[in-house]
Amino acid sequence: MILLIGMINIVNYFDHMVGEQKAVSSQIEKSDKIMSDIKMIKLQEQIVKKLKQEGYTPTGTFGFSISSFEKKSITIDLLEIPKEKTAAEIEIHKIVNEIFQENELGLFEITIQ
């Protein structure tokens, strides 16, 4: 009887591990798809072009962190931070999120540096 309970626990443990592994694989595939979409639509070029049109100085260097469609972030480097940093960040957030929405990428958490 003890042996049977032990075997059931082992099977349950492996089922749990397989389920977690599938969930992680699925998450990686979704993140890879988002990054592929970002490259395909040349998102960085769109952002740089729009920010320059609005008078900002993006370096073209971006950092992305994508855990899921709901949890994404981008870091945008500027050559110079405007004197009115808070107002500039609000405007940049609006500009960048409009580009994300136009490209059906959802909202990103945005960091300016």
Identify which has the larger pLDDT, 37 or 15: 37
pLDDT value at residue 56: 93
Given a cut of 90, is residue 98 above it in pLDDT?
Answer: yes
For residue 31, what are its two tokens? 């993140």
In the block, tokens 């580009």 appear at: 99
**pLDDT at res. 40:** 83
pTM: 0.70
Which of 3 and 74 is assigned the larger pLDDT? 74
Check the CA dihedral 3-5-8-12 and report its sign.
Answer: negative
Per-residue pLDDT at 78 = 92
Stronger pLDDT, 61 or 2, i.e. the higher one: 61
Mean pLDDT calculated for residue range 35-57: 90
Residue 81 clears pLDDT 90, i.e. is over it: no
What token pair was written down for 67? Answer: 């855990």
